[in-house]
Amino acid sequence: MLLTKNLIVIAFDNFVSSSFNYKIDCSNNYLCDVSYFDYKESYQQFSNWNLTNQLPSLYLDQDILTLIYQSQKNYEILYYDLNDNGNENVIGNVLKSVIAYLQSETINQSNIVQSFVYNYNQQLHLLSSTKNNSKLQHFILKRSPQICIDKQSLTQKANFQLKNLNQEKIIELNLNIKMNEPETSHIKLWIILGIILIIVIVGISVTVYCQRKKRKSVRQDLLIKN
pLDDT digits (tens, 9 = 90+) for 105-159: 665 555 667 788 999 988 999 988 887 777 888 998 888 767 777 777 888 888 8
DSSP state of 87: G
Distance CA 46, CA 110 (A): 25
Residue 38 clears pLDDT 70, i.e. is over it: yes
200 within some domain: no
Q: Say if residue 172 is exposed, middle or buried (CB neighbours under 10 Å; 0-12, 13-18, 19+).
A: exposed
Q: Structurally, how many domains does the chain consist of?
A: 1
Domain coverage including residue 62:
2-178
Distance CA 14, CA 123 (A): 34
208 within some domain: no
Which residues are bridge partners to 25 per DSSP? 33
What's residue 92's pLDDT?
47
Parallel, antiparallel, or unpaired for β 95-96 and 31-43? parallel
Tens digit of each residue's pLDDT (9 = 90 or more) over 209-221 = 777 777 666 555 5
210 within some domain: no
Using alpha carbons, select from 105, 118, 56, 112 the residue that is nearest to residue 76: 105
The percent of residues above 90 in pLDDT, for the chain, comes to 3
Confidence of residue 53 (pLDDT cuts 50, 70, 90): low
204 within some domain: no
> Chain-wide mean pLDDT for the chain?
77
209 within some domain: no
161 within some domain: yes
186 within some domain: no
164 within some domain: yes
Tens digit of each residue's pLDDT (9 = 90 or more) over 176-210 = 877 766 555 567 777 888 888 888 888 787 777 77
Residue predicted with more confidence, 133 or 60: 60
